[in-house]
Structure 1
């Protein structure tokens, strides 16, 4: 079943009943939103999750998936970078940190990045995310074509490896996968003469077409509502439910307010046979008096799997077209008694929309992301959960490779949730207490503020962990050095609020600007697109007072440092003897889950020279600008 199949519930396990259902009318949508808002007012420990369309501007060609406790979103950039956002709530995507998970400077596919879609498919190395996107040459749109990336692990946030172009020699855009009867197909759009068509072809794997096969035209713009401005059908998207397969597509020229959605259904058993598809005679999603050109959509399910949602772009003015004015929108849709999707009409901007069902849990899920141990600087013991399965208390325990592992998963406004990799639950202050010495425990996610934490730079190389709701830090009861001592919420006067972040296992460091990873070439440190090389895999090893060394093997005596121990900005970052004074670093968390690496001796951070995207761009120490060229995302290569 493909990633957006309506049957799939996502990776989370929801433990309770869902929120109140809603109809497709704006009146019912607003009523449900008002109900949720009243509940939130009575319980100020969490945000309501209510949002209004548009979610944010410049959000053309959206693709959205809910996976392992987070929404992941891509939208067209028109640049040389592929941007992704993630958040545990749909409303949170509006302010989520944009992370460039891929970039290219290859002249044949460097530019005009369009319409990214990422699908979780089974590849040669197990399940991976396959990112299909359109790109071409600088200064022209004549060479746009589909390209495919493969995620290094099971994390949609990357890093990604380039796998290839499907048809590099001809113009083709808007790729989408279809899985049917254990076969994989791609549906793409192409101009032939003055007509833009949707076409299907069978695939050998997610990045390679089968050789010597005919491609089948699925849609030809021929009806009045498909030819406004130009004869266009594009942006095919697959929707599967109860054994039936539907395909929406966008019709008419996107530069007109009449861009809209049409619908096909696969009524036979062979997707390559045009006669096995039924075309609906009328459009299924069209403009209103307040929303124009709604189209290029995707589908996703609510966190509990009980609701189906439509994500699409639209314009607020009849004069807007295929430009940065297209904004991101989302709304629930339903199914009629005949089993056909009913999308209703685009919601009027400003109408309050209740969040997808299940956002407030309770949710137990293994969140994707880098694993850390959180080591108390006073006791040198790790933050963990009591060994007794019936005891959810947070305690400190001896650090080992199999326990005390946490993912720092970004929420909103610079906060994170601490997701435990052993029990797939989240660290919270019990009952959202604001008292000193309040119990801290592991619990299912309920989207509460008391389950969120601010990770700030502390003393030396350490950090502090402050609860969002209470504003109080995490500390050890009595500042004890004993194993199994409780970890509690205390006040800022506590002497044991300092913690060290220790990344676990092999790490890839992906730059927020380029999507490329830190790599060693000779003794030099530069960025490279991830390609499973040993030179792109790193280990963090603790030194003292919270600082870390960065090397490529535990037995290595060479660590990342600064050439000639220079203290000036612009000094080159190279491999040095691990005993050198510039061979230690402090991890400083940034909003959105990224990290800056500050040198212990020079106090300056790592960064990309000139914020470059090119392969081999040098890494140097720089003035602290806290920009995306200096922020790295730690990932676990698999």
Structure 2
């Protein structure tokens, strides 16, 4: 082979490699998932985390029950059902149910999730912080009530948040010296002897002092701890939430004793506030979470679309990534518009899902359509025909499954009067039973599958005139109708 041909072939190979790399990079870029805010139509005082493959989100419900959304992707979280996780609301704490947060802590019963929420009776003076504990390590609970966290102190307080500093657990909240009326809500801290019990005296570490903290009425509320590179920061919401100037301030623990007011340093300027050019007003009451791969820091907050919106259901939940300044302090940037397209948090991926193929109509697959369930050919949109086979809601033992919708996370296939529907999990035992099936060898072909109702074991999932239901099976037609392939 001549030197010329060798050179030409070498150049061609390099060009092919470069072209292939460009295609691969272009494909990866094209596949990068994106989203726009908000995450819901209405949702104030948000708290959010990523745990064990899923995002979890809670917002203010105003009354019981407390609900939680769960989904493996941001897109899924937008459609996810708000599932009741705590329903214990007697008359002395069934009003003004605000600002639920959930934290994974090592309590007396081992690692558990703890929900901190504000509630009282009929009047604002009754507001206190309450705690509920999970039965296990699932953020979705169930939860049991542990008590009013202030105990005999009976301090007024809202917006509880916890932080561990040098091995000790502390509660942050918005409180007042005495009665709420006539006092300026300020940020307090106290040590906890366990996740639901305060111990010792409280310390006020921030009170409204700057003009930007006094718009409408003086206010410091919604503290949220943020720790990075061995430093502890606390954001808080300043000014009245009825105004578009509701915004975030920042404290840093610059001393050694968190219970010493002089150990905290306040930034003299707000660190996150309205962005009129982007149409974002009152951005505050926030939390923080890590991206799925742990490489990015994200802020979750609520905001309004109009300067005239107030402190009610017009507020919705938004998220965006933030960074760190060279001096080690957080840089939250400015709140972005709802038209800004953002990349999803790093490391997010769609978990595996399956289709259910009919045995005797093999061009048809199970799908939901307007919450009914049927078998159809050429399912469109395709995600209507995809489900996650998750451990049975009523029995997570071997062989028991539930079918969770891919495009409506938190919605499951369940039977209702023997007909199959797609419905949001309402947290009840009946729902869990109706949505649980035992996967067995196919009644018409053992290499396929059939699904036996958990609470009606004489009945199986089958199609009838293309609609899905559960029925007793007694003949060859029924066996064929009740047989499916779990397909990719």
Scaled by the length of structure 2, what TM-score is found?
A: 0.70
User: In the alignment, which of 53, 64, 67 is matched to residue 51 of structure 2?
Assistant: 67
Which of 291, 304, 318 is 2:307 aligned to? Answer: 318
Is 2:63 aligned against 1:79?
yes
Instruction: Single out whichever of 322-331 and 89-98 deviates more from structure 2.
Output: 89-98
1:25 alignment counterpart: none
SS of the aligned residue for 2:126 comes to coil
1:142 paired with 2:102, answer no
Which protein is richer in helix relative to its size? Answer: 2
RMSD of aligned Cα (Å): 3.6
2:458 equivalent to 1:544: yes
**Which residue pairs with 1:187 in the alignment?**
172
Distance in 1 (alpha carbons) for counterparts of 2:104 and 2:145: 16
**In structure 1, C-alpha distance between the alignment counterparts of 2:40 and 2:60, rounded to whole Å:** 13
Could you tell which deviates more after superposition, 244-253 or 159-168? 159-168
2:81 alignment partner, one of 75, 92, 97: 97
- Asked whether the equivalents of residues 462 and 499 of structure 1 are also in contact (C-alpha less than 8 Å), the reply is no
* 2:476 is the alignment partner of 1:498: no
Contact 2:322 2:330 in 1 (8 A): yes
Aligned length: 380
Aligned to 1:173: 158
Q: Does 1:287 align with 2:274?
A: yes
1:157 aligned onto 2:140: yes
C-alpha offsets along residues 468-521 of structure 1, whole Å, 9 cap, x if unaligned?
A: xxxxxx99799654xxx5xxxxxxxxxx5521255xxxxxxxxxxxxxxxxxxx
Return closer, same or farther for 1:110/1:50 CA change in 2, 3 Å cut-off: same
In structure 2, the CA distance between the partners of 1:146 and 1:303, relative to structure 1 (3 Å rule), is same
Matches within 5 A, 1:298-337: 298-337=287-326
Change (3 A) 1:402 1:267: same
> What is the 5 A alignment of 1:174-573?
174-192=159-177, 193-210=182-199, 213-289=200-276, 290-360=279-349, 404=399, 411-413=406-408, 455=413, 480-481=445-446, 496-500=448-452, 543-546=457-460
Give the deviation of 1:343 after TM superposition.
Answer: 0.4
1:111 maps to 2:63? no
Structure 1 SS opposite 2:201: coil
| Superposed CA offset, 1:237-262 (max 9, x none) | 01111211111111111111111111
Displacement of 1:78 after TM fit?
1.0
Gaps in structure 1 of 5+ consecutive residues: 1-34, 41-47, 365-373, 378-393, 395-400, 417-453, 465-473, 486-495, 503-539, 548-585, 587-596, 601-638
Distance in 2, Cα, partners of 1:162 & 1:56: 28
Q: 1:462 to 1:476 in 2, by over 3 A?
A: farther
For residues 81-116 of structure 1, what are the alpha-carbon distances to aligned partners after superposition, in whole Å with 9 as ceiling and x for unaligned? 211111111222221111121224422111221000
- 1:546/1:49 CA distance change after superposition, 3 Å: same
How far does the alpha carbon of each residue in 1:526-557 deviate from its partner, in whole angstroms, 9 at most, with x for none? xxxxxxxxxxxxxx7x843449xxxxxxxxxx
* Structure 1 counterpart of 2:485: none
Gap runs ≥5 in structure 2? 1-25, 360-388, 390-395, 423-438, 463-468, 473-488
For the residue of structure 2 that corresponds to 1:108, the secondary structure is helix
Q: Equivalent residue for 1:614?
A: none
**1:147·1:164 contact (CA, 8 Å) conserved in 2?**
yes
- Aligned pair in 2 of structure 1 residues 458, 104: CA closer, same or farther (>3 Å)? closer
TM-superposed CA distance for 1:324, in Å, is 1.0
Q: Give, in whole Å, the separation in 2 of the partners of 1:310 and 1:104.
A: 30
Cα distance, 1:170 vs structure 2: 3.3
Cα separation, 2, equivalents of 1:336 and 1:84: 33
Question: Residues 475 and 123 of structure 1: is their aligned pair in 2 closer, same or farther, counting only changes over 3 Å?
Answer: closer
Change (3 A) 1:243 1:410: farther
TM-score, normalization by structure 1: 0.54
Q: Give the whole-Å Cα distance in 2 for the aligned partners of 1:292 and 1:271.
A: 32
The higher radius of gyration belongs to 2
Change (3 A) 1:598 1:250: farther
Greater shift, 140-149 or 184-193, is seen at 184-193
